[in-house]
Amino acid sequence: MAGKAKRFSLEDIAALDAADPLAPKRQEFAVPKWLIYLDGNSLGMMPLAVKDRVTTVLAEEWGNSLIRAWNSHRWMDLPERVGAKIGTLIGAEENSVIVTDSTSINVAKAVSAGLSLNPDRRVILTDNSNFPTDIYMAQGVADVLGKDHTVKVVAPDDLYEALDDTVAVLMVTQVGYKTGLRQDMQKLTACAHAAGAITVWDLCHSAGAFEVDLAGCHADFAVGCTYKYLNGGPGSPAFIYVAPRHQDAIQPMLTGWIGHQTPFAFDLDYKPAEGIKRLNVGTPPVLALSALDTALDVWDDVSMAAVREKSVALCELFITEVEARCGGFGLDLASPRDAALRGSQISFHCPEGYKVMRALVDNSVVGDFRMPDVIRFGFTPLYVSYEDVFNAAKMLEKILREGLWQNPQYDVKEKVT
């Protein structure tokens, strides 16, 4: 525990909220009364406008136009239209992002495409802070290709050293889900390229959390979720980015008809569509894409620099208050102390962390738990206030001091933690 940082008074907190340029954005979300929601890094809150959009799509588009809506309401263009909105948030070139499938599927599509650009090499390099599904998908791709590809997993700090002339694809999640450790995209991409490797970046905990500059970093491929910081709703489809220089060179692994050059020619042979469209596979999920399309409008008047500035301030406030209040209960900061090395979440190692988190949730402070002992809190500046963060730290202190986590109900783990 550091505990040297300056403490905050109630007046300080009120002043921070009063001066917060993002404070009005909260009104654009469905914010449940009395809930302190520090889990927008897992499932973002619902933008209020989504409800009307989905209602309209149901009543008018599906309900009334039926199959005609593929043309009249441009359903078929949703993957690219929604992709373009995300592209502006992640520094992508025009026509380089589509929204389709899940992140897991898109990891497989990006990794296999990356391997096809580097046919003489056999290693997919990643690190052990990566989210397991990314590693599983890479292992599956390696197996399916049947060309002796292997997935090499090293510690995050060892990625640079492991970039040798066997590495075909470097697959990295920019912000680790457990501790929030953030990799330097610019530097790591440059090192990968110097070593002759293609990069696949997972932006699940980056998109909507801070500025990302895919084009400026010369990234090759990227994928990411839309239900975390982008508030697209549970299971909303994911995005995939391919740098324009690679788009027409890749042969997709999943060669579905929507990625065909002329789907409605019903040719019996696959020919990839031009550009990013070839990463489409099957029929777009129109309801989910429509919800996401409207959810993304909350970003129209938001500066990502302001989001990052507030995110850092919220995280610093939380660390300071938790360490000052909860010293003596065995909490240990699991996230990097230096804000430059973090995404927009704070994690603590916490003895009995699972039970402590259950008690927090039962007391209206929602974060989550990750094995083996990490309590995790996400900070989403569009709808989280300084007061929320201050009160969350106070509640954590109360739960530890009063032993509220010792409820026998918490002995049994729920399916989703």
Positions in the binding site for ligand PLP (CB under 6 A): 102-104, 131, 133-134, 173, 177, 202, 204-205, 225, 238
The answer to whether residues 99 and 83 touch, using CB atoms and an 8 Å cutoff, is yes
To the query of whether residue 245 is one of the catalytic residues in this protein, the response is: no
| Annotated catalytic residue within 8, 29, 131, 241 | 131
With helix as H, strand as E and coil as C, how does 68-135 read?
Answer: HHHHHCCHHHHHHHHHHHHHHHCCCCCCCEEECCCHHHHHHHHHHHHHHHCCCCCEEEEECCCCHHHH
Residue with token string 């359903």: 75
Please name the helix (run of DSSP H) or strand (run of DSSP E) that holds residue 137, with its range, or none: helix 132-145
Residue closer to ligand PLP by CB (options 25, 40) is 40
Q: How far is the CB of 132 from ligand PLP (least distance, A)?
A: 8
Residue closer to ligand PLP by CB (options 20, 127) is 127
The answer to whether residues 316 and 338 touch, using CB atoms and an 8 Å cutoff, is no
Q: How far is the CB of 360 from ligand PLP (least distance, A)?
A: 21
Query: Which residues lie across from 47 on neighbouring strands?
Result: 29
Tell me how far apart the alpha carbons of residues 35 and 38 are, in angstroms, rounded to a whole number: 9
Q: How far is the CB of 42 from ligand PLP (least distance, A)?
A: 7
Residue closer to ligand PLP by CB (options 252, 378) is 378
To the query of whether residue 228 is one of the catalytic residues in this protein, the response is: yes
Q: How far is the CB of 235 from ligand PLP (least distance, A)?
A: 7
Contacts of 46 (CB under 8 A, 6+ apart): 29, 30, 231, 233, 295
β-bridge pairing 36-37 and 365-366: parallel
Tell me how far apart the alpha carbons of residues 393 and 395 are, in angstroms, rounded to a whole number: 5
Residue closer to ligand PLP by CB (options 127, 202) is 202
The answer to whether residues 135 and 151 touch, using CB atoms and an 8 Å cutoff, is yes
Tell me how far apart the alpha carbons of residues 239 and 78 are, in angstroms, rounded to a whole number: 12
To the query of whether residue 379 is one of the catalytic residues in this protein, the response is: no
| Annotated catalytic residue within 376, 377, 386, 390 | 376
Q: How far is the CB of 13 from ligand PLP (least distance, A)?
A: 30
Contacts of 145 (CB under 8 A, 6+ apart): 112, 115
Tell me how far apart the alpha carbons of residues 42 and 345 are, in angstroms, rounded to a whole number: 11
Residue closer to ligand PLP by CB (options 96, 130) is 130
Residue closer to ligand PLP by CB (options 88, 133) is 133
215: which 2 tokens? 């084009």
Residue closer to ligand PLP by CB (options 202, 220) is 202
| Annotated catalytic residue within 39, 127, 202, 373 | 202
Q: How far is the CB of 236 from ligand PLP (least distance, A)?
A: 9
Q: How far is the CB of 19 from ligand PLP (least distance, A)?
A: 32
To the query of whether residue 376 is one of the catalytic residues in this protein, the response is: yes
Residue with token string 């596979």: 281
Tell me how far apart the alpha carbons of residues 191 and 182 are, in angstroms, rounded to a whole number: 16
Residue closer to ligand PLP by CB (options 99, 400) is 99
Is cis: bond before 336, omega within 30 of 0?
A: no
| Annotated catalytic residue within 8, 29, 221, 227 | 227
Neighbours of 333 (CB within 10 A): 16
Q: How far is the CB of 202 from ligand PLP (least distance, A)?
A: 5
Query: Could you tell me which of 234, 199, 205, 236 has the C-alpha nearest to residue 82?
Result: 236
Active-site annotation, residues:
131, 202, 227-228, 376
